Every structure is written in C-alpha cells, then in structure tokens.
Amino acid sequence: MSDYAVELIGVSKSFPTSKGEQIAAVDRISLSIKHGEFFSLLGPSGCGKTTTLRMIAGFELPTEGEIRILGESMGETPPYQRRVNIVFQNYALFPHMTVYGNVAFGLEMDKIPSPEIRERVTEALRLVRLPGMEDRRPKQLSGGQQQRVALARALVKRPAVLLLDEPLGALDLKLRKEMQLELKHIQAEVGITFIYVTHDQEEALTMSDRIAVMSEGQVLQLGTAAEIYESPLSRFVADFIGETNFLDGELETVRDGLATVLVDGTLRLSAGSAASDLRRGQPIILTVRPEKISLHSRQLDGAVAGQIEELVYIGTDTRYQVRVSEGSRLVVRVQNSGSADQAGFRQGDRVYLTWDPAVARILVR
Amino acid sequence: MIAGCATRRGRGSLLLRLGKTALGANAWLIFAFLYIPILVLIVFSFNDSRSVAHWTGFSMDWYLRLFSNEPLLRAARNSLVIAGVSTLAATAMGTLTALGMDRYPFRLRSSFDAILYLPIVIPEIVMGISLLLFFNLAFFPLLQALLHFRMTLGVPTITVGHIAFNIPFVYVIVRARLVGFDRTLEQAAQDLGANEWRTFWRITFPLLLPGILGGALMAFTLSLDDFLVTAFTAGTASPTMPLYIYSLVRRGVTPEINALSTVLLAASMGLVVISLVLQRRR
Ligand SMILES: Nc1ncnc2c1ncn2[C@@H]1O[C@H](COP(=O)(O)OP(=O)(O)O)[C@@H](O)[C@H]1O
Ligand SMILES: [Mg+2]
C-alpha cells in the first residue's frame, strides 16, 4: 500500500472558452495527501478548488498530469470505480427517495446484502446524529439535516477518501461552527482521509491538519495551519489568511537571519527569518500580524514611535490604527484583559510599538 | 379646480364600474360561447327520442346502442390501437431525442431544436398531404420494387402519421422537464457506485417520468381525436372514431352521435387532466 491516500502529480485542467481559447482552471498542481489526514484546499472563489476535487472524484479528466488514489494511477477510471466519495455543496440528495433510500443507495450499488445495508445505514445515521429520520424525504429536512444525510450517504460506503466541496457553505454561521467541530469528531471517529474545499480561511485553520492555499489554479503554499499563518511565503497568502500589516521598504542589511528594513526612508525595522537570497537594497514587503505587536506608553529600546489615529472596540480585542510615518499605518490588536476603562490608549495618544523580530516576515516584492 | 377634480374622480369611478361590469359580462359570454354547444350536445345524448332539438325525456338508450354497433366498435378498436402504438413509439422517440439534444451539445443545436418544434405549428393539412404523397409516391412503390410487397393505406399508415405529429409534443414536454434537471444528482449516483446504465434507471428516468407520462398522455389524446392527418392516411377500409362520426354526420345527426361524442369528450378531458397533473408534479 502506498504511503499516500491521494497524490496529484503535475495535474492541470484546461477548459475551452466560448472564444475557442483554453483557460487553465488548474495549473500544474502537485500534492501528496497522507492517510487519515484532514487536508484543506483553501482559496478564493474561482481558483480551481472544485475542479481539483472533481478530478479526484473522476468527473473531470486532467488535461495533464496524473492522479493516484491509494498508490494506483487513476487514468480514465470512471467515478463509480474510485474508492472516494464526495459531498456536494448543494448536497445533491435524490428527491424521489427517502433518507434511508439515499443512504442505502451506494450500498445497493455494491450489491451488499440487505440486512447488512440496514445495519450500516442505521450506523451511518447515528454517526451524523440523525436517527429516526429514515422515512423522511429530503424536502422535509432542514439545510443542516440535509447536509448530514449527504455526509452519511458518502460515509456509509467507507471510502478511502472523502471529498467535501464547501459542505457548510449554505448553513448559517452558528450551525456552521457546530458542524465544523462535528466534522472533526466524525473524521477522528471514522479515520477516513478528508479533502476539504473551502474559501473560508478561518474554517480551514480550525479544521485542517494541512492546508494548500490556492490562487489562479496553482498551489501557493502548503503547510499546517500554524505554518501558513505564521510564515506566509507570499503577499497573497499573508493577506488571504487572517489580518496582517504590510509595509513596503528596502532591505538594508541581513545579519544572522535578522534583516533590517528601511521603510519610507526613515523608519528602521527589523525582521527575522529572511530568505538567504536577499540582496541589499532589494525592494521587499515587511509583514507583521496585528496581534503580535505590543503597545507601550514609554519609549523602549528599539520601539517604533507612532500616534493612534483610530481605535475600535471589538469585544475581546481593541483594534488600533497607528500612524508610524508619513505614509505608513500599522494595525495593532490588543486583548482586553482588564476592565474597559483600563484599556488605556485614546485617539491621538503617542505610543511606542514593539514586536519580536522573529514574528515579522520579509516577502519579496 | 376642486370641483373639477371631484367630477373627474366621479366620472373615473363610474367608468371603472362600467368597465368591471363589461369585463364580467364578457367573461360570461365567452364561457357561454365555448361551452353551450357542448352542453347541448351532452344533454341531447340523453334524449328519449331521435330528435336532437326537442327534449322529450331522459334515457340511456343511445349509450346502450353504441355497444351493439359493429362498425362503431371496429372504429373504436382502430382508434385505440393507433393511439396506443403511436403513443408508445412517439414517447420513446421523443424522450430519446430530448435526452440526446439536452446531453450532447453540438453546433447548430438550437436550429435543430427549432426544427423539432416546428411540426407543432405546421398546418395539419400540409402534414396530411405530405404523408399521403410520401406513402403513395415513395414508400409503396419502393416496397413493391424491392420486396414485391403490395401495401395500401390503412391502420399502419395512420399510425406512422400519428407518430410523426406526436413526436414534437413529447419532445417539447420532456425537454422542458430536462431544463430543470439537476445533473449533479446523476454525478452523485455515479460517485456512489452506479454505472451509467443504473444511473439512468435509478435517477434520470424516475425523475423524468412525470414529464414522460405527461407527454405520452398528450400524445394519446391527440391521436384519439385527430381527424385531418388520419383522413389523408386512412384509405377507405379502416376508419377511426373521428372518421366514423364524420361519416355518420353526413347521413344525418342522431343522438347516437351525441352519445359517442360525449364519450370521446369525457375520455379526452380525463387524459388531458391527468397529463397536466403529472406535469405539474415535481
Ligand atoms: N466546466 C467548465 N467549463 C468551463 N470553465 C470552467 C468549468 N468548470 C470550471 N471552470 C472555470 O475554472 C475556474 C475554476 O473553477 P472552480 O474549480 O469551480 O473554482 P472554485 O471551486 O475554486 O471556485 C473558473 O474560472 C471557472 O469558470
Ligand atoms: Mg467551488
């Protein structure tokens, strides 16, 4: 058996446009997804997530490259012979069948004897916490319940890999949060590899073992939630995942992995973990997350001086916008650990900003 | 100014009331115009005398007589056989054509679509004549020359004619149903292990069935009371119900014809209602 549940090797997919040209929906993607992993494809709408998933499921054939499932090259294997199952965004429940009929469908196709079908359907409905709904029609269920039926229908087949295409996209926020946790639990319980498509970065960060951030058909960065959040390799990834500050500047010096950056010709900032191939004077972007910055009222060694232009109280945090030079602003988030009147700073206050140089990243412009 | 306004409003509401009354009256007139002849026909099918103008008393005699009228029963059987066979054939062909047109995009598809709709608006008499010419000038001579088989107009040719005008109706109804069809349902079935064949029979077909049945009932109804195409393709030996009624009428109207027409009317209306109900169901 292969080390990986799913491998994509240089996979591309082009579609013909109405003008007769080819447009690449997926562009030379290579991924290796491990057994039992919760793997997310994350990216904005139209970046090729669904197309990637549909190629794994077998609904689309790659125009280039190879897809392997459990080490076996799929070639033109039709969907009904692949050991993967998909949960569609619109659920695609069969309207002319009951919940039982829907969940049993895949087992009937496998010619499983009916006592076993009954047992497994009951078990699957218990797993998604929908017992006693066997005789309902999909139309008689709420969105969240339909979602669970779709999940049960796919899981009951015990696939090697479960593909989920924005499965929570149609649910309201509260239900979505609940289902995120529940999906995690279900995955832990069944131990099946999940490939999860979402455009919601928070969802991907919460649920995934590893995330592939996609843009325009390509994988920009692959890593754990922490790696992607803490060490984005490009402006796109840093911007797409969470909130962040960008400062355009020039590289002055690099010493022991610590870089000094000149911003706006006056501001000298340091940042860690700079790539080794950076040159002096190279235009770069310095990025630092708002919650990594501390605010002080006294001048400290190496602190950046600034003035509070705007502040917004958002419950757990207060979000400050601080002017640090003529053309540059930094957003700072400070947790409200004390009582409200202790929160300290007011609009117009002079403040000093510090951060651990290791948490600031340097990106090539 | 104020007075002017008031008058205008007064005149307006008067006009409005008149308009409403006129519209109401119009509706009643149209109903009367459409249904009084049919009502009269039905009423006199229960008349206790040969007259279709003077009511003398209630009787079911004319209906009973229908069932002992040999030529009539033959015509009825012809009608049912033709309607049955042409419905089956037209439904199969119309459905397959609709599926093909829906699933396989090709250049000129919309033109082909229009061509398939066209027979619905082609004057029936043109269709009748063209079928007659086709059989007499092309099909029969060819059959004679190739297989030395002599064939004349009759039930088979009527059936072919009915299949021809029924296909577009089935096509239109099934195509409409396919427009709202969610293709991801078929993909879901394939994902769950159903090959193309099982996907068709377990998913596509059951979901299209109301449309297919609706189309079939429409075809059956149209075939049952078709006159023009039938008249051109029937020859002399084998009349259908509408042809038979027409031949009776030429010899004079009796309540027997009323009774027969009432039976046909009831059958057609029943089928149309079922067809509409089926099409509305999702
Ligand atoms: N069947 C198709 N025909 C033509 N273009 C397509 C087709 N499917 C997807 N695309 C195009 O490919 C790109 C990626 O689409 P998709 O994979 O659905 O993105 P995502 O799921 O990330 O929103 C889009 O620009 C989309 O318009
Ligand atoms: Mg998508």
Among candidates A80, A94, A154 on the partner chain, residue whose Cβ is nearest the Cβ of B190? A80
pLDDT tens-digit map of B78-121: 999 999 999 999 999 999 999 999 988 888 888 888 888 888 88
The CB density around residue B83, as the number of other CB atoms within 10 Å, is 24
- The residues, any chain, with a CB within 8 Å of residue B125's CB and separated by 6 or more, are B228
Token pair listed for A209: 């073992």
Q: What is the pLDDT of residue B1?
A: 42
Please report which confidence band the pLDDT of residue B8 belongs to, taking 50, 70 and 90 as the band edges.
Answer: low
Ligand 1 environment, Cβ below 6 A: A 15, 25, 43, 45-51
Q: How far apart are CA A224 and CA A238, in angstroms?
A: 14
Least confident of A155-169, A291-305, B4-18, B137-151: B4-18
pLDDT of A342 higher than 80: no
Same domain, B20 and B87: no
Question: CA A184: distance to chain centroid?
Answer: 14
Residue B96 within any structural domain of the chain: yes
Question: How far off is chain A from B188, nearest CA to CA, in Å?
Answer: 7
Q: What is the count of structural domains for chain B?
A: 2
Q: How far apart are CA A335 and CA B41, in angstroms?
A: 88
Same domain, B167 and B194: yes
Which atom of ligand 1 is nearest to A53's Cα? 17
The CB density around residue A270, as the number of other CB atoms within 10 Å, is 19
**H helix or E strand, kind and range, residue A174:** helix A173-190
Q: Please report, rounded to a whole number, the percentage of residues in chain A having pLDDT higher than 70.
A: 97
Same domain, B141 and B242: yes
Amino acid making up residue B1: M
Token pair listed for A250: 């020039």
Paired strand residues for A326: none
Same domain, B37 and B72: no
Four-point Cα dihedral A178, A184, A190, A191, nearest 10:
170
Q: What is the pLDDT of residue A331?
A: 93
* A51-76: average pLDDT: 95
Q: What is the pLDDT of residue B6?
A: 47
Token pair listed for B27: 């509706």
Straight-line distance from the first to the last Cα atom of chain A, in angstroms, rounded to the nearest whole number: 43
Nearest CA in chain A to B206: A96
pLDDT tens-digit map of A208-248: 999 999 999 999 999 999 999 988 888 999 999 988 999 88
Ligand nearest the Cα atom of residue B183: 1
Token pair listed for B181: 């069809």
Distances (CA, A) of B259 to A362, B43, B61: 94, 9, 9
Cα(A42) to ligand 2 centroid in Å equals: 10
pLDDT of B169 higher than 70: yes
pLDDT of B279 higher than 60: yes
Amino acid making up residue B233: T
B192 in A contact zone (CB under 8 Å): yes
Q: How far apart are CA A201 and CA A213, in angstroms?
A: 9
Ligand nearest the Cα atom of residue A212: 1
pLDDT tens-digit map of A284-338: 888 999 999 988 888 888 888 999 999 898 888 889 999 988 888 999 998 887 6
Residue with the nearest Cα to atom 17 of ligand 1? A48
Residue B180 within any structural domain of the chain: yes
* B226-251: average pLDDT: 87
- Helices (DSSP H) in chain B: which residue ranges? 2-44, 61-66, 70-103, 109-117, 124-133, 140-147, 155-179, 183-191, 196-199, 205-224, 228-233, 241-250, 255-280
Residue B50 within any structural domain of the chain: no
Q: What is the pLDDT of residue B235?
A: 82
Domain boundaries along the sequence of chain A: 4-235, 243-364
Paired strand residues for A64: A12
Paired strand residues for A268: A262
**Ligand 1 pocket test target in A8, A13, A15, A220 with most atoms within 8 Å of CB:** A15
**Chain A partners within 8 Å of B187 (Cβ):** 59, 79, 88, 92
Helices and strands (H, E) in chain A, number of each type = 8, 20
Q: How far apart are CA A3 and CA B106, in angstroms?
A: 44
The CB density around residue B219, as the number of other CB atoms within 10 Å, is 29
Mutation site for A-interface testing, chosen from B107, B183, B191, B203 by largest number of A Cβ within 10 Å: B191
Question: CA B238: distance to chain centroid?
Answer: 21
Please report which confidence band the pLDDT of residue A273 belongs to, taking 50, 70 and 90 as the band edges.
Answer: low
Same domain, B166 and B112: yes
Least confident of A34-38, A68-72, B8-12: B8-12
Q: What is the pLDDT of residue B4?
A: 46
Same domain, B131 and B174: yes
Same domain, B90 and B20: no
Please report which confidence band the pLDDT of residue B2 belongs to, taking 50, 70 and 90 as the band edges.
Answer: very low
pTM of the predicted protein model: 0.81
Same domain, B16 and B138: no
Mean pLDDT of chain B: 87
Give the DSSP per-residue string, B209-265: HHHHHHHHHHHHHHHHT--HHHHHH-TTT---HHHHHHHHHHT---HHHHHHHHHHH
Residue B153 within any structural domain of the chain: yes
Q: How far apart are CA A195 and CA A201, in angstroms?
A: 15
A139 in B contact zone (CB under 8 Å): no
Give the DSSP per-residue string, A224-257: -HHHHHHS-SSHHHHHHSS--EEEEEEEEEEETT
B202 contacts A80? CB cut-off 8 A: no
User: What residue numbers bound the domain in which B22 lies?
Assistant: 1-44
Residue B183 within any structural domain of the chain: yes
B185 contacts A92? CB cut-off 8 A: yes
Please report which confidence band the pLDDT of residue B3 belongs to, taking 50, 70 and 90 as the band edges.
Answer: very low
Same domain, B187 and B110: yes
pLDDT tens-digit map of A171-187: 888 889 988 999 999 99
CATH of domain A243-364: 2.40.50.140
Q: How far apart are CA A257 and CA B30, in angstroms?
A: 92
Q: What is the pLDDT of residue B10?
A: 61
Please report which confidence band the pLDDT of residue B214 belongs to, taking 50, 70 and 90 as the band edges.
Answer: confident
Same domain, B221 and B104: yes
- The residues, any chain, with a CB within 8 Å of residue B52's CB and separated by 6 or more, are B44, B253, B254, B255, B258
Paired strand residues for A39: A195, A210
Domain A4-235 has CATH 3.40.228.10: no
Residue with the nearest Cα to atom 26 of ligand 1? A46
Give yes or no for a contact between A11 and A29, defined as CB atoms under 8 angstroms apart: yes
More confident residue, B252 or A69: A69
The ipTM estimated for the assembled molecules is 0.84
- The residues, any chain, with a CB within 8 Å of residue A2's CB and separated by 6 or more, are A68, A70, A71, A72
Residue B219's domain is classified under what CATH number?
1.10.3720.10
Q: Please report, rounded to a whole number, the percentage of residues in chain A having pLDDT higher than 90.
A: 62
Same domain, B69 and B182: yes
Question: How far off is chain A from B192, nearest CA to CA, in Å?
Answer: 5
DSSP state of B5: H
- The residues, any chain, with a CB within 8 Å of residue A200's CB and separated by 6 or more, are A42
DSSP state of A21: -
Same domain, B143 and B72: yes
B198 contacts A78? CB cut-off 8 A: no
pLDDT tens-digit map of A94-140: 999 999 999 999 999 999 999 999 999 999 999 998 888 899 999 99
A57 contacts B191? CB cut-off 8 A: yes
